[in-house]
């Protein structure tokens, strides 16, 4: 493009045909490239001038102004944030609807599971509180009366060290016990306990059991803490737990990383010490299908899990048709897709062609959905199709889908050749 000055001193744009300066081979190559580019768009058949910009007038720009580059709005926002050193404060996962669907499913399943186990938890709480009451009373008695001196006296008696040593220990015990009972902490604790007991009794006499039960919550809470500490001391391997694991006992709930780890351990692909590492957060689509990405430990790759896919699905409590394993960026990256129900076991989704008043063949034909519920679209332009199959397998019904899309497009010309005869294509006789 070149510019010329008008009689008023303005600069006027002039279109220069660059094709006049190219050799035939270059023009042919440019034509093929332009047609290929246009075939990938929604509109038009390309010619050599596709994409040419025509300007009637160009405003004069001062020489010192430099070069101006037009940026889209998103790029401007990103560049502006980068120049100010700002980054998004809210993580993307907090705005992802699929992540929140999975979170709600996990929370609801956990609440329902623990609600059904509430009688077991109540008995476990009572038993633990009883252990705490016994341990608390034992420790308080041992501290206030210095029972450790009695144990020393028994050892001296068994060693036959002499009666005078036993007498000294008993004297020391009485002295130490009297000193402990006079300590300020002991006095404050006993005063607080008696005051709390008197307040509970007075509340019960005045208002009855309605308000007495809530007032006893701190007391039972203290007993449970003491009992939990004692039971945890007895089981140093961590086997004692008040709540049961949802993933270990439930095969109908949502798939989580803990449930996947337990399944891989059941089929001997992971040891008891190994675990998977979640990559991002699990998501759930509108149909209830879950996608979980995770990284396996060294030595376990996605191909090994695929080889035992049926056993893995059984360990998850699912059928093989309901899972799909895909390798991620590396062999240790696994993407697990879990269907809410067995694929194709429910009613098929309604095609958009059913309620459409008209359709553009340029947008393709919504042909059907795959096992993951994703709609597949047929692109009829620059393509051909061949339908085949045994009798009753739906060849005619499959061919009617693109024919219906063509019938809804007023600019589409349909050519049909029916060598079979019959009533399969009678509806299109007035259109084709």
Given a contact cutoff of 8 angstroms between Cβ atoms, the answer to whether 1 and 22 are in contact is no
* CB-based contacts of 240, cutoff 8 Å, min separation 6: 228, 231, 232, 234
Query: Are 28 and 59 within one domain?
Result: yes
Look up the pTM and report it. Answer: 0.59
- Domain assignment of residue 383, yes or no: yes
Which residue has tokens 């919550």?
A: 217
Given a contact cutoff of 8 angstroms between Cβ atoms, the answer to whether 378 and 364 are in contact is yes
Residues found in the chain: 432
CA atoms of 168 and 177, how far apart (whole Å): 14
The residue among 340, 345, 378, 346 whose CA lies nearest residue 359 is 378
* CB-based contacts of 404, cutoff 8 Å, min separation 6: 353
Last residue of a domain, one of 65, 92, 107: 65
Query: Are 139 and 220 within one domain?
Result: yes
Look up the domain containing 328 and give its range.
Answer: 254-338
Residue-level pLDDT at 46: 38
Query: Are 365 and 298 within one domain?
Result: no
Last residue of a domain, one of 305, 338, 371: 338
Query: Are 291 and 388 within one domain?
Result: no
We report the CATH number of the domain holding residue 308 as: 3.30.980
- Domain assignment of residue 421, yes or no: yes
Q: What angle do CA 152, 156, 161 make, to 5 degrees?
A: 150
Looking at residue 187, the DSSP 8-state letter turns out to be: H
Query: Are 122 and 227 within one domain?
Result: yes
Sign of CA dihedral 179, 182, 188, 193: positive
Query: Are 204 and 272 within one domain?
Result: no
Query: Are 128 and 217 within one domain?
Result: yes
Neighbours of 289 (CB within 10 A): 21
Query: Are 225 and 264 within one domain?
Result: no
Query: Are 141 and 220 within one domain?
Result: yes
Task: Tell me the pLDDT of the chain (432 aa) as tens digits.
Answer: 444 555 555 555 566 666 666 777 777 877 777 767 766 665 544 343 444 444 444 444 444 444 434 444 444 455 555 555 545 566 667 778 888 888 888 888 888 888 888 888 889 888 888 888 898 888 888 888 887 777 777 777 777 766 777 777 778 778 888 888 888 888 888 888 888 888 888 877 777 777 777 778 888 888 888 888 888 888 766 667 778 777 655 566 788 888 999 899 999 999 988 999 999 889 998 888 999 999 999 889 999 999 999 999 999 989 999 999 999 899 999 999 999 888 888 888 888 898 899 999 888 899 888 888 888 888 888 778 888 888 888 888 888 899 999 899 988 888 888 888 778 888 888 888
* CB-based contacts of 174, cutoff 8 Å, min separation 6: none
Last residue of a domain, one of 168, 202, 234: 234
Q: What angle do CA 3, 8, 9 make, to 5 degrees?
A: 45
| Element counts in the chain: helices (H) and strands (E) | 14, 9
- Specify which residues 366 forms β-bridges with: 377
Query: Are 175 and 131 within one domain?
Result: yes
- Domain assignment of residue 352, yes or no: no
CA atoms of 403 and 398, how far apart (whole Å): 9
Query: Are 280 and 366 within one domain?
Result: no
Neighbours of 268 (CB within 10 A): 9
CA atoms of 277 and 295, how far apart (whole Å): 5
Given a contact cutoff of 8 angstroms between Cβ atoms, the answer to whether 276 and 260 are in contact is yes
Domain count, the chain: 4
Beta strands per DSSP E along 304-370: 323-327, 333-338, 365-369
Query: Are 266 and 217 within one domain?
Result: no
- Domain assignment of residue 203, yes or no: yes
- From residue 230, alpha-carbon distances to 142, 157, 226, 240, 330 in Å are 16, 31, 6, 10, 47
């Amino acid at each position: 493009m070149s510019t010329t000055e008008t009689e008023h001193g303005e600069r006027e744009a002039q279109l220069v045909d660059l094709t006049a300066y190219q050799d035939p081979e270059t023009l042919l190559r440019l034509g093929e490239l332009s047609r290929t580019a246009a075939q990938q768009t929604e509109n038009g058949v390309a010619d050599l001038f596709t994409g040419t910009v025509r300007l009637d007038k160009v405003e004069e720009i001062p020489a010192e102004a430099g070069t101006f580059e037009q940026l889209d709005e998103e790029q401007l926002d990103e560049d502006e944030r980068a120049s100010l050193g700002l980054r998004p404060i809210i993580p993307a996962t907090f705005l992802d609807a699929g992540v929140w669907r999975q979170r709600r499913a996990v929370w609801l399943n956990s609440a329902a599971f623990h609600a059904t186990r509430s009688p077991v938890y109540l008995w476990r709480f009572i038993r633990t509180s009883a252990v705490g009451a016994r341990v608390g009373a034992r420790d308080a008695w041992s501290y206030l009366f210095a029972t450790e001196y009695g144990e020393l006296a028994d050892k001296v008696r068994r060693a036959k060290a002499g009666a005078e040593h036993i007498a000294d220990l008993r004297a020391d015990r009485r002295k130490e016990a009297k000193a402990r009972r006079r300590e300020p902490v002991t006095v404050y604790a006993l005063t607080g306990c008696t005051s709390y007991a008197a307040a509970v009794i007075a509340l019960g006499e005045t208002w009855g059991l309605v308000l007495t039960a809530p007032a006893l919550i701190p007391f039972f809470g203290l007993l449970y803490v003491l009992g939990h500490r004692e039971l945890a001391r007895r089981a140093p391997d961590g086997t004692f737990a008040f709540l049961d694991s949802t993933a270990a006992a439930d095969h109908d709930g949502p798939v989580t990383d803990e449930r996947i780890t337990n399944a891989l351990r059941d089929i001997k692909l992971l040891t008891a010490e190994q675990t998977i590492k979640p990559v991002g957060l699990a998501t759930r689509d509108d149909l209830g299908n879950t996608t979980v990405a995770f990284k396996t430990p060294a030595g376990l790759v996605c191909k090994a899990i695929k080889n035992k896919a049926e056993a893995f699905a059984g360990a998850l409590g699912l059928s093989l048709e309901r899972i799909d394993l895909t390798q991620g960026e590396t062999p240790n990256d696994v993407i697990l897709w879990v269907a809410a129900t067995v694929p194709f076991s429910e009613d098929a989704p309604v095609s958009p062609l059913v309620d459409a008043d008209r359709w553009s063949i340029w947008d393709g034909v919504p042909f059907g959905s795959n096992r993951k519920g994703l709609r597949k679209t047929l692109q009829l332009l620059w393509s051909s199709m061949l339908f085949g199959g045994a009798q009753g397998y739906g060849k005619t019904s499959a061919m009617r889908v693109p024919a219906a899309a063509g019938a809804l497009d007023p600019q589409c010309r349909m050519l049909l050749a029916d060598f079979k005869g019959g009533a399969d294509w009678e509806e299109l006789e007035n259109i084709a």
